[in-house]
Amino acid sequence: MEKLDKRMEELLQSEGDLTEKQRNILAAATEMFAQKGFAATSTSEIAKKAGVAEGTIFRHYKTKKDLLLSIVSPTMLRMISPFILKDINKVLNQDYERFEDFLREMIKNRQAFLDNNLQVVKVVIQEIPFHPELRDQFIQHVGQKVYQRFSETVQYYQAKGQIADIPPATVLRNVSSVILGYFATKYIVAPVGWDEEKEIDELIAFLAKGLAPE
């Protein structure tokens, strides 16, 4: 756990000492990967959009795939970092009176993250099916670390009588399904007249009722 935290901190901070051209490359690549996909984006296009020579890309990234991983891997960690970092981000470690309060805090927190990282998250989701390393990384982190932490939380509220006696894995699945559906609607479908507060209230009420005992 100590080691993991160290590695994560490194990854999360590793964008400080970059050249301007390097940052341009990452930005251009992210934008095009999100738009056309990794396989359909050529390194010459990236170089052109970043305003650098094509050789410059390969000075910093051994291969095109290496460039993808440099973009995607840190973001994958940051997506789930609140669930596995105990010290840095305290959001999910406070004890909330009700499960609904915990849910609301989690949604707000991850929504803020999404607002700032929409494109990269899009790349992560789009590319995971095509790159086994990414899939394995994701399964390993979410399937082990996140599941472990979340299970404890669920059991806590089950002991308080707020959640029915359902396997924590099922609770996790339903909660994340509904929240992902909410985010997908907000960011992809983007309906007109979207009342965020109201939607979140309804979402939480739905989850709380669905998971309540009896």
CB proximity list for 32: less than 8 A, separation 6 or greater: 41, 45, 46, 49
Q: How far apart are CA 207 and CA 214, in angstroms?
A: 14
DSSP-derived 3-state class of residue 165: coil
Q: Is 202 in the site for a second copy (CB under 8 A)?
A: yes
Q: In this structure, what token pair is assigned to residue 211? A: 């998971």
- Residue indicated by tokens 């009342």: 195
Min dist. Cβ of residue 129 to DNA (A):
18
Q: Which of 4, 40, 88, 112 binds a second copy (CB under 8 A)?
A: 40
Contact yes or no for 188/180 (Cβ under 8 A) = no
Q: In this structure, what token pair is assigned to residue 186? A: 């907000």
Q: Which region, judged by CB under 7 A, interacts with DNA, from 42-50, 123-131, 139-147, 193-201?
A: 42-50
Provide the CA 186 distance to its chain's centre, in angstroms: 16
Site for a second copy in 115-174 (CB under 8 A): 122, 126, 129-130, 139, 143, 166, 169-170, 173-174
Q: In this structure, what token pair is assigned to residue 59? A: 């000075």
Q: Which of 3, 62, 198, 209 binds DNA (CB under 7 A)?
A: 62
Comparing CB distances to a second copy, the nearer of 24 and 75 is 75
Comparing CB distances to DNA, the nearer of 84 and 127 is 127
Q: Is 51 in the site for a second copy (CB under 8 A)?
A: no
Where do contacts with a second copy occur on this chain (CB under 8 A)?
36-37, 39-40, 122, 126, 129-130, 139, 143, 166, 169-170, 173-174, 176-178, 180-182, 184-185, 189, 191, 199, 202-203, 206-207, 209-212
